[in-house]
Structures are given as structure tokens and as C-alpha cells.
Structure 1
Amino acid sequence: MHIDKIPDIYIQKDKNEQDLFIYDFKMTEESIKTKVNLNMHMFSFLQTGKKEVHFANTSVVVDSQQSILIKKGNCLWSELLDKEEIYYCKLFFFSEHRLKQFLDKHIKLKRPPKKASSYFTIENDSYLTSYLNSLSTIKSAPQDVSNSLLSVKFEELLVYLISKYKTIFEDYLLSLITEEVSSFKKSIEQNVYSTLSLEEIAFLCNMSLSTFKRHFIKEYKVSPGKWLREKRLLKAKELLEKGNLKSSDIYLDLGYSNLSNFSSAFKTKFGVSPSNI
């Protein structure tokens, strides 16, 4: 299964990791339901064509009359030609760190968090048109100057959208921060007793395996492998003690590839083989 990791595929490999990044995306052929792992939040300012994005529980279509802020995560998107022969959008990516800096500076009253929608639709206007034109001049500047200007332009954009959409947009920005931790822990809790591997759970959390392990240890104060084994073996003991199931009935459902590995892990944990429970 091919998955486009964005914006990674747009960033030159010899560059350091960036927390603000703009990219002009152009194409002359339509792309239908591309599998995307978006690892930064992204503004998509569509200039020509249409964009259709499918999320786990909703979808949205925008054209050149609208722009869209998309929450980082997995999605499917289609990029469609309209009357023009070229699809063109300007993309502006930003990291969690940059967003937190902005919120700490500009939003003094932190309201109770709301669940983050997968996207926020923005109606284009003359100010945004002018703003996008100003972004186009930044890429030609030296790297250090370009980075400084991007920081200013990022702040300008969010300040303007807050002035335009008031607390609705403030709440959305706040939800992008608070939802990250809760969705991470929710994904973990929902897959405690699944057959998914750590790599697969990490993907569902929109993280590399190494990043996933760092987040996990920060949240749970223990390695994910040890934590999952503990939870799954305790569940196994609970199921066996009820007397209705045997080891051969449950080991696959608790993430073990064979009965022998399960029995060995169980005996190491409880000092007795599962068949003796």
C-alpha cells in the first residue's frame, strides 16, 4: 500500500527538519484518492482546480473560492482539474511547536478543549489574495531571511483569521493542540487487546515507530512493548479464570502469533502455565 508522507516528499533531503514550510504544488493530470499521511497541519490555498478530501468520518470539497486548514493525520485526497488545464495550490505547513508558541502569545484565555474537526474551511477574500502574493516572494530570499519572514507571515495569517472568524477559529486552533494527546491515548486504549503490531498502532497514531515510542514513554512512563504485554497477559488470566476458554481460544486475539510464545510469556509473568489456571 503506497502512502504519500507529506510534506516529507516535498522537502529536500539535505535540509534540516522544518517547522514552517511553503510549497507550490502544480499538476496537469488528476489524482484520485491518494493515500496521505499528513504529519504537519496544513493550509491549502487552492488557485485552480478542485480538492476533495476524505477523512475517517467526513469529507469536504473546495475550489478556488475557498481555502482549507487540514488537521494532521491520515486522509485520502483527490486533486481535480476544473476549467483550467493545470491544478495549482499553495501549501503552508506548520508544526505543533509553532502553533503552541502562537497560542501562548495571542490567546490568553484558554477555553475548555473541544474535539478537533478534521478541517476548517476558509472563504477567500482580497486580503488572502494579497497575502498569498506576498508568500510567493519569500522563496527567492536567502534561507535565514526566508525563515524569519515565514515566522512573521505565519503569525499574520492566524491573527487575520482570528479577526475574521473570532472565537470559532480560536477554538479550532486550541483543539488541534488538545486533541493530539487525547487521540493518541484513545488509539492506544482501543488497541490494547488487538492483534496489531506496534508499527501498525504507530501508523494509526500518525507517527513513525520511534516517535510513537517517545510519546508512549512520556505518557505511560514505560515502554509500549512492556505495557502491552502486561495488559494482554492480565486480560488472558482474567479470561482463563472464568473457565469458559482455553489458551488456544484466546492467544491470537491477544496479539500472540503462536500458542507456544503465549504460554511461555504467561508462565514467566504468573509462574504457572495457562493450562493450569
Structure 2
Amino acid sequence: MTTAPYNQSILKMNGLSVIESCTHTQNNAGTMFLEDHLFLFVLKGKYTVRYGNQSYTVKKNEMVLLQRSITVEYEKSGEKEEEYLLDYMMFFLKDDLLNEFVKMADLKPSYPEALVPVSVKSVNDRLISYIESLKPYFNQPEEVRNGLIKIKLLELLFDVADTDGNFLIQFLQLKRKERKSITEVIEENIFNPLSLNDLAYLSGRSLSTFKREFKEIYNTSPLHYIRNRRLEKAKELLTHTSLSVTDVCFSTGFENIAHFSKVFKERFGISPSLLKKPLRLT
């Protein structure tokens, strides 16, 4: 235990984290990429999530549902009257679980013409009781069977859907969300430091499907194509702007200067630092 109490407990299903319970008093901010749909419940304190121009502040006994394949900024804080304690749970929902829920709930395939907006909702007594029922499992998480965790996640979805009908529509919207084309995802993120896994998630595909479809479109591997596009842009910036080698490295999606210099020299036969040096007149 440190001066700023922190505790994190995780329940896994098939080796993947699906439920996290966190408690701490230290203010924290950062970013995270949502690989799965996320249900966030705050029991004490305040958790703010920002996506683009949208911001959602989840306070004590409130919840919000966010779709996967987005990068969000977050800020965690507590309230003075509760000694700045933040207590929250996160539920990561896989597509196969949502499929099973939709089937079990016998939901009709009807959708509103306009998307139901994401909103923060109050947690009722039924959901608070559900949260309390999970706490004993965190004492010995490795002994909780996959089947039981799956049942508890399905129970959550039924409880939430019965709490607010709009969540039912949100579930359906998550399922109908159209996949972006691979070319669109690549052009939007070519100079962002995202991994192939991230790009696959953004396109709504598995990594293997993403790689296969990418090669069908570009006739090369995504790693080779993306690296060459970044290197061509880096060469252009080094030649025609006053940006330093370091600035060019990070602005074109590379995260390590030594690696950037190595692959740049392999591609163009000259290091970026030498290319950047001004020519001397003789």
C-alpha cells in the first residue's frame, strides 16, 4: 500500500480480461484504445472519458456504454467528501458475448433511423446489487470458472437492458456498426503510431482477415506498405522542411529514432541525419 492507495483486481474469461475492479485515490489521466465494447460503472468518485469533441463524466452510481475500436482520453478523480476515493468497475464485452445475448433476449432486428446517443445513466438498486455480487470473486479470481464469468456477464446485459430501453438499442447499434474499408483506415492513420492489431480493430476485422484483405488490395504486406509510405513522407519532410530528424521520426509514425534511422538508411542508402545536413559549397 502506497501513500495513494491503489488496488486493481481482474476477472478473466478464456485468458482475456473481461472485468476489472479498481480503487485508488491518486488523480490520473491518460489515453487508452478500446479493443472491446466497454461498460463503465462508477461506485465512488468521478471518471471522465473524452472521445473527439464528446465528453462523458461518470459520477457515483452512474454508468456509460462505449463502442470498441476508438481511442479515448480519460481522467480519474475522487470527491473531497469521500477522501478522493475512486471506485469503479469496467466490463469488456466481446462480440460473441453480444451475439449470444441478442439471441437469448430474442431482440428484433429493428433499428431507429437516427443513432441513439451515448449518455450517462444512473445505476439502480438492481445493478448495485449485481456489482456487490461480483466482489467475492475478486478475492480468488484464478478459481472462478470461465462459465460462471460468462453467466455473470450475460446477467449484467439483461439487468442493464431492463434498466433502460435505450441500452437495448445501443447493443443493436454495436452489432450493426458497419466496418470501415481498409483503405479508409490506412489513409486516416498512416502516420499515427498504431500497431497492425490497432489497425485491424479500427477496421472491424481480425488481424488475420485484415492482413489477407490488405494484401488483396495493395499486393503487399501491411508492414511493408506502411513503412515505405512513412519513409517516403519522412524523406520529403527532411528535404523540404526545417523539422529535425527527431521531429520527422515521430511525426511520421515511428516511435524509436534508432530504428527509424536504420530502416531509412536501408531504404535510401543514406542516414536521415546526413540527408538533413546542408550541402557545403566548395
- Per the normalisation by structure 1, the TM-score is 0.63
How many Å apart are 1:26 and its aligned residue? Answer: 1.3
- Shift of the 17–87 alpha-carbon distance from structure 1 to 2, 3 Å rule, reads same
Map 1:76-225; keep pairs closer than 5 Å. 76-82=73-79, 83-85=81-83, 86-112=85-111, 119-140=118-139, 143=142, 145-166=144-165, 168-179=166-177, 181-182=179-180, 186-188=184-186, 190=188, 196=191, 200=194, 202=196, 205=199, 207=201, 213-217=207-211, 219=213, 222=216
Counterpart of 1:58?
54
The 3-state SS of whatever aligns with 2:180 is helix
AA in 2 matched with 1:215: T
Give how far 1:143 is off. 4.3
User: Take 1:118 and 1:201, find their aligned partners in 2: how far apart are those partners?
Assistant: 29
Structure 1 gap segments, 5+ residues each: 1-8, 231-247, 250-254, 263-277
Amino acid at match of 1:100: N
Distance 1:81 1:140, change over 3 A: closer
Query: 1:25 is matched with which residue: 22, 25, 37?
Result: 22
Q: CA offsets, 1:142-191, max 9 Å, x none?
A: 7464422221121112112222322x222211222332623766424656
CA distance in 2, matches of 1:165, 1:214: 37
The letter of the residue matching 1:56 is G
Q: Which blocks of at least 5 consecutive residues in structure 2 are unaligned? A: 1-7, 226-238, 241-252, 254-262, 269-282
TM-score by length of 2: 0.62
Q: Summarize deviations over 1:193-241 as a string: whole Å, max 9, x none.
A: x5x37x6374764749xx86423245567276628899xxxxxxxxxxx
Moved more, 126-135 or 37-46: 37-46
| Shift, 1:113, TM fit | 8.0
Count of aligned pairs: 228
Preserved contact between residue 217 and residue 223 of structure 1 (Cα < 8 Å): no
The answer to whether the 8 Å contact 2:10/2:141 transfers is no
Task: State the SS of the aligned residue for 1:131.
Answer: helix
Report % sequence identity.
22
Per-residue CA shift, 1:53-107, capped at 9, x if unaligned?
A: 1102311112103112222221100001112222111222222221222223324
Pick closer, same or farther for the CA change 1:219–1:179 going to 2, 3 Å.
farther
Q: What is the alpha-carbon distance in structure 2 between the residues aligned to residue 172 and residue 185 of structure 1?
A: 27
2:245 equivalent in structure 1: none
Call closer, same or farther: CA 1:184–1:101 in 2, change over 3 Å. Answer: farther
